[in-house]
Structure formats: structure tokens, C-alpha cells
Structure 1
Amino acid sequence: MACTFKLFALLSILFVGKLKADISCPNQQTPAYSCGTQSIVVLDGSTDMQSVDKLKEIMAFILNQITPKFDYADGQTIAYMVYGGQGGGLQATEFASNIEQSCSYIETVINGVGNNLTPVTLTTGLNEMKKFYNDTLSSGKRIPILLFTGATDKADIASAAQLAKTNIQNGDLYIFSMNGGDYSPFTDAKLIYNISQDFQNWGGLQRCFNKAACNIVINQGDVADAVTTVAPTSAPLRGPHCTCNYSTVWLDVIYIFDASAATTANGLMELLGKVQTDAQWLNIAKSTDTSASEYHTRVGIIYYDSDATVYAPLGSLTQMDFLSIPTLPFRNDPGTNLEAAINLALNQFNSSAHRIEAKTVIHLLATTYRPGDYQDPTQIAETFKGDGGIMIVYDYIEAHGSVAPELNTIASPGYFTTSSDDTDGSFVLNAFCDANCFCFVGYNAYSQDTGRNLPNQGCYYPVETTNGYTIAENRCKSFNNGYLATVENEDKMRFLWRMFKQPTNFWIGLQYDGSAFKWQDNYALTANDYQPWAPNGKQVQSGQMSGIYAISTGDQNAIKWSTHEPRQGFWFACEVAPCDSEHYCSRQQPNNIIL
């Protein structure tokens, strides 16, 4: 099931189980994404949908699975509209600012539809939507328009696409086609998706809808993430891991271009084209755009030869601004004052345009640098990296035909490539994802990645105060939604051991629940799992809970486990998911556990 996504707008429509006349309003859930957008749900109530039941299934899906996960507290609102239905009229609501209003508005729309569908074109429906919500669509903000449609008439679809292009420029369109219509005329749609199976079996629709409502760009795999009860062919990956979604990377990035004579004018153009190609995948927003989702990247541009110049300050460009840059200044100057360029980048990161939550990244695109006439950039680059910044270096070797070893020394470990090695063009985008994977301040990264040292197996915080098992468990949950650390292998056992002063005993995330041993991440302990029990350490009483702790003698190679009465106090470590491209970590979230 192919998913086509493009660069500008957004439409969508949705479906699920049949509604009863008396609607039961669901409880508010944890928001899927935090944003303050206004979004409009447009539902096809015409005969193109084939039955009223199908339309009401969509509404039930929205009611039960979508609206409870909106971030109303952060100002997110949603309006509902159906075109067609009984009498062929328009059913439209104002913007709901809480879940109770959402439920009430959906009920109003359902009651207005009645029991019959009438012939209404998609073009008419979008035109009526534009007229009803004209003030919102003319506000200058990007408005997600979420549309499920059954239209298949090619002429109608082409006409509707032209209407959207000319009259709904501020609407971001995601289109979900129920009957296999050809929506290719909607060249500005962010997503066009054909649902050929029962949509209730596609769990990705919920995530897809909530992303669209927050103006978060959707990847191909989001919608087609099927809910299945079939056993996987291999063991699932355990623990919190780094997720890579280019469109939701939230970094502050300064691009530094080598504009010296060694790069050549043509080479500088090629480097600009390279970063603009990458930028098509990113959600780039200005620092002044208060309607932008938290999942966006801010960028700035600096170029240098014997001098360094800020071409675009951090946070001053939209994606379209970036893609529209025709060329960068080139003076055929042989100088390479990279140190001055990095200094300018650090000044940008010290400005108000930098978000304290966002990782700082310098993406250097260079041919070489010439030490001697200018201060060596190595020291300032090391300072930037030591403060947590990531230096991605792209060595453009076409102009001179060989790798510049000096540039490799400036890059962060694992973040250096050359134009000849990056044959598929994915290095930088993947580097952005990896740069966006990090731990809260004060947490230790557990990684078996020898390159970029990513927390690809979670982040861990040692607590050196004695707590009972259940108290420790609750402490971990209350801060960053963590849990007592699991131990899948000996290497991880040693990693946890090294976080504490030794010798000491500490709780691990394994417990006996009265009938079986289970980990805090809901995995059962199996016979083949790592489990270094002490003699008689596995003794339990049926029906009684026991916590499991690690016994340390001061030797990391002699750690053993044993059960214990859970009210006993031990030190413990909390395991949490890393911040990444789909897990935004705000400064409001506590970085550390305070006991």
C-alpha cells in the first residue's frame, strides 16, 4: 500500500465502528503530540461514501481514538465538517477546545447527517469548507485540513485540486481515499493514501491523524502500521531505542559553507544543492513562528573564505525560504578562516533563536582548511563538542580529488563523510536523526554503538538513596515515565554496576508477582534469559510478591541476583527512553529524580 507525500499542504478523513444514538464521551488521554494548532476535519457525506454506516464508522473512530489524544491544554483545537448527508447540506462546527466540546460537536454533526446520503461533489464540499472557515484559513497560520473522501470522478478531483491550490493556500491537506480515487492532481498535498482494507486494522491511522493535526510531516510507514495479533518471526527489540523520522527531527542547525577558491563557484553550488535536497525532508520553521509544532528544525547559514559571514541567522528561514536560495556569495578568495565561522555559529546558538531543549548541530561542508594564517579551528570545535554540540562534516572532494584529513579531526566521532562515500545521499539525514537521540541531563546512556555513542538501549539514572521496591518503581514512573532498569545481558549488568559506588546492592527491574518472574517492561523471564542467581537466590513463596536485587561484592564479574521482601530499602536505577525525533523532551520535564 503505497503512500505518496509531498512538500506543502494537508487534507484528511477518517472512519471506525458504528455509533449508537447515545454517544459515550471517552476520557482524556495523554496527548499524542504537543502543539497549539487549529485543525479541520472534513468528512465526505455524499453518495461517494456509499453508505451512512461507513460515514458513522469514521466519526466513531475520530471520537474514540483521536480526540482523546489531542493536547487541548496546550491550545490545540479541532473543528468538524460533513458535506452531503440528508438534504445535501453542510454540517460544520466551531473549534472545540476540550474533549467534552469535541464529543458534543461530533454528536451534532452525526445528528445532522441523518439516514441518507446525497450527491455532492468534492469540489463543492471544499468550497463550502473554505467559505465557512474563511476567517481561520485567512489568518496567515498553516491550518491542517484532515479529509476522508470517497470521490472517484476524475474531473471532480481535478477541479477540487485546482480549487485547493488557488483558494486554500493556507490549508495543509492530507487526503485519505476510501474508494481508490486518483488524487495525483493534488500536487501540494502532504499525504495521499488509498485505504483498500478495513481501516480499523491499521493502527498507524491514529498516529497519522494526530501527526497531521499538529502539522508534523508523515512518513510512508506511519499509516500502514498494521495492528496484528500474529506472532513476530523474530524476538522484538527490547527497551527504549532511538527512533528516526526525518520530518520530526527537532534540532537547531547551522550550515557552514566553505566558499574559498578551493571549493570553486560550481562546487559551492553543488554543496548548496546537496543541503537543499536534504532540507526537503525536514520540517523547517522560523523561531518567530508560534504556530509551529515542537517537532521542527531551525536553521541558519554561514559561509567563509578569509572572512566569515552570517548569510541567514538561526531561525530566520522557512523550508521554502531555504529551498529558494539561488546561490551563495563566491569571491574566489583562497583563505579558509574556519575558526571565525565556528565562532559565528556559537554566537548564533547563544542567541534567543536557540531553543534550550534542542541539540545544537554544526553541519560543515568544506573542501579543506589551511592552517597558518588563521587560528586553528580545532580548539573551538572541541569546545563546541565538549558542550554537547554535534559537528557533522561533509568533505567535498570533487575539487581536489582526495580526502582532507584535517576535516576528519574536527568532526564529532562517527559524523564525518565525503562526497564520494555518501553515494545514496542519506548520511547527513541519518546523522541528524542520531544527533537528535540523546539522554536527559544527568542520565547515563547505555550504548553498544562504538561509533556515535547513541543511547540506543536507553538512558539510566542511578538513585543512591534506599527505597522499597514499589516506592522505587513509582519514583521511576513519576519522572520521565521510566521504570526500574531491566538487565538483558551481562554487559548491561556491568554497566548498571559501574553507576554505583561499590560495593552496594541495588534493585533491578525484575520481580516475582506471586506466580511468575516478570520484568518492568512486561517481558517474562524465560529459561534462556541471562539470570545470574545466587545460591538459593531464586526462592519465593507462591502468591507473595518479591523484588529482585543485585548483590555486589565489589567485583563486576561476580554480581548475583536474589529475591527479597519488597519493603527492604535498596539503591536503584531508572531506565527511560531517550529524547529522539519522535520523543520531544521539554525543559518542563524534570531531568533528574529528586528524592
Structure 2
Amino acid sequence: MKFNTVLTVFLIKIYVISSEYITRPCGQDLSNLWLDMVAVVDNSQGMTNDGLTAIAANIASVFSDGTKIGTNSNDPRTTRLGLVTYNSKATKNADLNKFQSIDDLYDNIFTDLATVSQTDDSNLENGLEVAEKVLEAGKNEKRKFYKKLILIYASTFNRNGEAISIANRLKSAGTKLVTVAYNQGGGDEQLADGLAQISSPRFNFTNNRALIGDIQMAMLEANCFCAPTWTQYRQYYSDQFSPPGGVCIQPVGLTAVWRAARISCANRFKNAYLADEFTQHKHDFIFDSIKNTNGFQLPYSYHIGLTLSNGSWSWDRPNGWEQPVVQHWFGWDSGFPISTSSKASGANFGNETDAGWQNIGAMNIGLNYVCETATCDTDNYCSTDQLD
């Protein structure tokens, strides 16, 4: 089923221009989620039996919107879920292959999270270390590019432990960490602030009524990524952790004429094309990207997907796809476009602060160029062969 909640304010401000002319957002189909995940649950005395049961229900609910649990050889878009509980020590309750359906999850999660331990000690670092081992043990060639996520439920947080350093190691390796501060009243008032040091940016949550949607949003975002050597479009170029969009950018620092650049982009990744600039924001993001790419030098000049088609300026798309007509925002330099059939392609020309569109010939000016493709996500599965 489609995830109906808008992912971020970024999507509202940047993407929603008209129903037809938008930059692609990340996929939002929970039934096609493909992740490897481990739930890490505090079962110390402070959590209480009722608290554990509530967490079991929350975990089951998160995956109840059509997400396929386990491994299905007929559909690679599945999510594996392991389970770890922790107190003074940690226990692996389920590896990544135990739950093979949503029914398996329901049949086991409430039993696994039924009774708290006999200790008040709650050492998250132990839970994280076991979760890391579960993810490592579950690796296989078919899923080597699947993104990893650890979902943490905690009733307290020990700032004197090693949890932060372990969390930083996991995040540096690409694993997303989602935290849920489950304060059942009268507990650690600084719990959420402490867990914010553990979580990935924007993924620290509390037990509020939006929690299921918050966790699902984090999973969908974790499942939205680019192939190596591509840069994911996002709210702020300068902040790699800012809310992401559903396209990837690849500046190419070797010159080619526009027609050759278009073919080069198409050959770089499935359904890739010369980049579009629907908005000032997208234009600025691409400009910041090329400034940080080897092979681009002042004065900047680079092909984008502008092309004159049937009398209208449109954006490049793969062969057979509809080409969006330029609308809403126009980045033409003063005096452009020049009205001539011999200049039916577009490029950016600029200085150290900005660049503007100019129309040029498709076969006679060699420039750098910028390619674009969709992110790998729930609407666009990327195989190992594509990502290798």
C-alpha cells in the first residue's frame, strides 16, 4: 500500500509545484520495502511487562501495511527483521531469517517481548553489538546492497557507556539507527535527548500517536538511496543528512557534445538521462555539485537536459518516455533562448556564483555534463547487477 503521509516539509516546498511537473520524491510504497532490519528492545525492569507488550504491538503494526517479511525468491522487494533484547546483557531472539511472513512476526513477537528481565541494568551498547552481529551474520550476495536499519526501543539511557561510540561506528558504515524513547511516566526526563545522540539525524522519536508513521517514514527514507558515484538530491547540498529527494545526480568531468552526453548518461545507469532543472532549488543543487567535481573549471559550462522538441523547450528523458515541457521556473540567461533550429539543446554557462541556461547546437560544442536517474527505492528496485 502507498504511504500517504508526506515524508518531509522539503517534499512540500520543493516538489509539489503542479500535479504533472515535479521532481521525483522517494518511493512511498510500504508493500515494496526492501531492507534488512533489527529491532533492539530494552527489557530491563524499567520497561515493565505492559511496556514490552506495547512495544510488541507497535513493531507488529509498523510492518502491517503490506510489508513483505522474510525472503521470497519470486520478489526481491522484501524486508528481513531480526530481534534483540537487552538489559545488563543482550540476547538474540531472532536472526534475520526467522520471520518469514507477517504471521510469523505476529506469532512470535508477543512471546519474545512478554516478560522483563530480573535486573534494572540497561546497557544499550550490548544490544547494539549483538544487533551488529545479527546484521553481519545475515549478509548474502543477493542482498549485499540492501540498506540496513536498527530500530531501538529504550526506557532509559546510560550516558557513561559505550553506546554512542558503537552507534557512530554503525552509522559511519551506512546503517540507519532509529530510536524510540519509551518513557512511561516519571522516568528519565532526558531520555529522548540522550537517544538523539544514538539515532541517525531526524530519526529520534518518542511514544506519541504519530510513532507508527514516523518509523515507517524512516524506513522508506532508509530505502531511498543512490548507486555508488551518484549523489542524492536533498534539501541542502551542504548537509548530507538533510531530507532526501528521489533522484540521483552525477556530474561528468570529461567533455562531450550534447548528443553524445545524452547517450553517455543513458549508458551509466538504467533509465538515466541528462539532468533537468525544474526549480531554482534543483538548479542551485546541481551548480553546487559541479563546483565540487573534478574536471569542472571556471568559467563553468555543462550540458543539461534542455532540448527543443516540437517547438517547445522540454527536458530529456529515456527513449519512449514523455518529455516534460519546461514550465513554472526558467533559468535562461538574458537574450536566450535564441530562436534558431540549429541551437536546439541547452547548457549552463556561469561564473563562480551562478550559471544560466543558453541554447546551443547538439553536435558542435563539447562541454562537461550532468546526468540524472531515479533513486533505488520502493518504486524502483535496483538489482545487484545494477549496483555492482
**TM-score grouping bracket, smaller chain normalisation:** 0.7 to 0.9
**CA–CA distance in structure 2, aligned partners of residues 338 and 577 of structure 1:** 37
In the alignment, what sits opposite 2:274? 484
**CA–CA distance in structure 1, aligned partners of residues 159 and 311 of structure 2:** 68
**CA–CA distance in structure 2, aligned partners of residues 392 and 369 of structure 1:** 14
In the alignment, what sits opposite 1:577? 374
- Equivalent positions of 1:357-376 (< 5 A) are 357-372=145-160, 375-376=161-162
| Structure 1 residue 471, shift from structure 2 partner | 1.4
**CA–CA distance in structure 1, aligned partners of residues 150 and 93 of structure 2:** 15
For residues 18-40 of structure 1, the C-alpha deviation after alignment (integer angstroms, 9 at most, x for no partner) is xxxxxxxxxxxxxxxxxxxxxxx
- Equivalent positions of 1:236-315 (< 5 A) are 236-287=20-71, 289=72, 291-315=73-97
Question: Structure 1 residue 434 and structure 2 residue 221: aligned?
Answer: yes
Q: 2:325 aligns with which of 524, 536, 540?
A: 524
**CA–CA distance in structure 2, aligned partners of residues 243 and 315 of structure 1:** 25
| Superposition TM-score, scaled by structure 1 size | 0.56
| Superposition TM-score, scaled by structure 2 size | 0.83
- Equivalent positions of 1:324-335 (< 5 A) are 324-325=107-108, 326-327=110-111, 328=113, 329-335=115-121
Residue 584 of structure 1 aligns with an amino acid whose one-letter code is Y
Question: Structure 1 residue 383 and structure 2 residue 166: aligned?
Answer: no
Indicate conservation of the 8 Å contact 1:260/1:305, yes or no. Answer: yes
Q: 1:461 aligns with which of 228, 246, 250?
A: 250
In the alignment, what sits opposite 1:416? 204
Taking a change above 3 Å as real, the CA distance of residues 487 and 334 of structure 1, as seen in their structure-2 partners, is same
Indicate conservation of the 8 Å contact 1:279/1:323, yes or no. Answer: no
In the alignment, what sits opposite 1:356? 144
Q: 1:538 aligns with which of 319, 324, 337?
A: 337
* Consecutive unaligned residues in structure 1, runs of 5 or more: 1-217, 222-232
The runs of at least 4 consecutive aligned structure 1 residues that moved more than 4 Å come to: 218-221, 449-452
Taking a change above 3 Å as real, the CA distance of residues 279 and 513 of structure 1, as seen in their structure-2 partners, is closer
| Helix, strand or coil at the partner of 2:220 | helix
In the alignment of these two chains, the number of paired residues is 354
Taking a change above 3 Å as real, the CA distance of residues 473 and 276 of structure 1, as seen in their structure-2 partners, is same
| Structure 1 residue 239, shift from structure 2 partner | 2.6
For residues 281-321 of structure 1, the C-alpha deviation after alignment (integer angstroms, 9 at most, x for no partner) is 2434434x5x3511110010000000011110112212222
**Rg (Cα) greater in structure:** 1
**CA–CA distance in structure 2, aligned partners of residues 220 and 495 of structure 1:** 27
Q: 1:322 aligns with which of 105, 112, 120?
A: 105
| Helix, strand or coil at the partner of 1:499 | helix
Question: Structure 1 residue 561 and structure 2 residue 357: aligned?
Answer: yes
State the superposition RMSD in angstroms.
Answer: 2.6
| Structure 1 residue 452, shift from structure 2 partner | 5.8
Question: Structure 1 residue 496 and structure 2 residue 291: aligned?
Answer: no
Indicate conservation of the 8 Å contact 1:267/1:399, yes or no. Answer: no
Indicate conservation of the 8 Å contact 2:234/2:240, yes or no. Answer: no
Taking a change above 3 Å as real, the CA distance of residues 331 and 440 of structure 1, as seen in their structure-2 partners, is same
* Consecutive unaligned residues in structure 2, runs of 5 or more: 5-16, 291-295, 318-322
Residue 441 of structure 1 aligns with an amino acid whose one-letter code is P
